[in-house]
Structure 1
């Protein structure tokens, strides 16, 4: 069971639903990693100027259990809210199963660049309105679950097959290409040539008689 580090930067949102009727929206994001026993949650600063197009560039890190993530049991949730004196207003959220963000192989970042993605925001009324952009990368040692191919040592050789061709599991000799006539091993072809010459000689002697 391996722990990875998810480096996440909540960059910005655009064209969000305007939930304030009179005052300007002061938007912040709450990012939660769900599915593990220990719930991890962080909150960005409040953007008091962007309105429905806020910018944060808030960076933080999450510890990720790789096995749970690959089993689809971890979900990254980004909730967007407008801060108000009489109670904050829910704007919408983005939910992403973490398995969709994981690399498909053991090619983890280890210092390489961040990957930028944009997701639509779902409002409390289940309508898609606006988008959220963030960047991320995973750092750590990958563990590949499932069958692993192990290469034999350099001195290893496959067992001989009854056909004399191919490694284990045994394979028959591939069919010849179209138009090819199999003439047998070289020694057979030489014997056939000798017999053909002998036949020609007998035929010539018969004609002379």
Structure 2
């Protein structure tokens, strides 16, 4: 499969957890594409006005290996941070397996083919608080009906008694002697003489 280009626009976040005790939050986002050897990371500008409802409208492009994406091995991670003089503090993050964003026949898109998505933000304490909205599109990907799920190899079933299944059907051999089947009848010379005598008697009877 080919390499794709993922175009992202990190639009905004809303109702984020307030991690500053006194000052107003100045929020920025760090966008990372994980799973490939070459980790790609981009940082947005700091929104100094929105507080817990920041707005960035930040565009970014990532190179994507389509095979890894369809196998579910690439993850888009958007981390949200509050910029502070004494050290930035994490607000939360959104993690999306890239396979869920691959082109499909469903989804809401604008006239330029950008699709919009909104995900809940998970805080460092593993609580869901706030949401993140972004738009995206892939260049160079074929449209499919949805994410591709790869199924592991199926195990082989034992052979069926009726000949169905992965193994060829084999008819049962005749049972050995002593189990109701004695094989074809065996004739002796004495049996032949008796049979000939019976035939002679039958012929004489007909002549009479």
TM-score by length of 2: 0.65
How far apart in 1 are the matches of 2:118 and 2:143?
Answer: 28
How far apart in 2 are the matches of 1:132 and 1:67?
Answer: 27
8 Å contact from structure 1 (residues 72, 99) kept in 2 = yes
Q: What SS does structure 2 have at the residue aligned with 1:69?
A: helix
8 Å contact from structure 2 (residues 103, 143) kept in 1 = no
Match of 1:20 in 2: 20
Q: Deviations over 1:129-158 (max 9, x none)?
A: 000000000011439899xxxxxxxxxxxx
How far apart in 2 are the matches of 1:100 and 1:18?
Answer: 29
Cα gap change, 1:103 to 1:113, in 2 (>3 Å)? closer
How far apart in 1 are the matches of 2:37 and 2:75?
Answer: 13
Offset of 1:88 from its aligned partner?
0.2
Answer with 1 or 2: which has the greater Rg: 2
Offset of 1:35 from its aligned partner?
0.2
**What does residue range 25-174 of structure 1 map to in structure 2 within 5 Å?**
25-104=25-104, 112-142=112-142
8 Å contact from structure 1 (residues 2, 143) kept in 2 = no
How far apart in 1 are the matches of 2:135 and 2:13?
Answer: 12
Q: Deviations over 1:143-193 (max 9, x none)?
A: 9899xxxxxxxxxxxxxxxxxxxxxxxxxxxxxxxxxxxxxxxxxxxxxxx
How far apart in 2 are the matches of 1:45 and 1:95?
Answer: 20
Structure 2: unaligned runs, 5 residues or longer = 150-208
Poorly superposed stretches of 4+, deviation over 4 Å:
143-146
Structure 1: unaligned runs, 5 residues or longer = 147-209
How far apart in 1 are the matches of 2:8 and 2:77?
Answer: 12
Number of aligned positions between the proteins: 142
8 Å contact from structure 2 (residues 103, 142) kept in 1 = no
RMSD between aligned residues? 2.0
TM-score by length of 1: 0.64
8 Å contact from structure 2 (residues 103, 141) kept in 1 = no
Match of 1:149 in 2: none
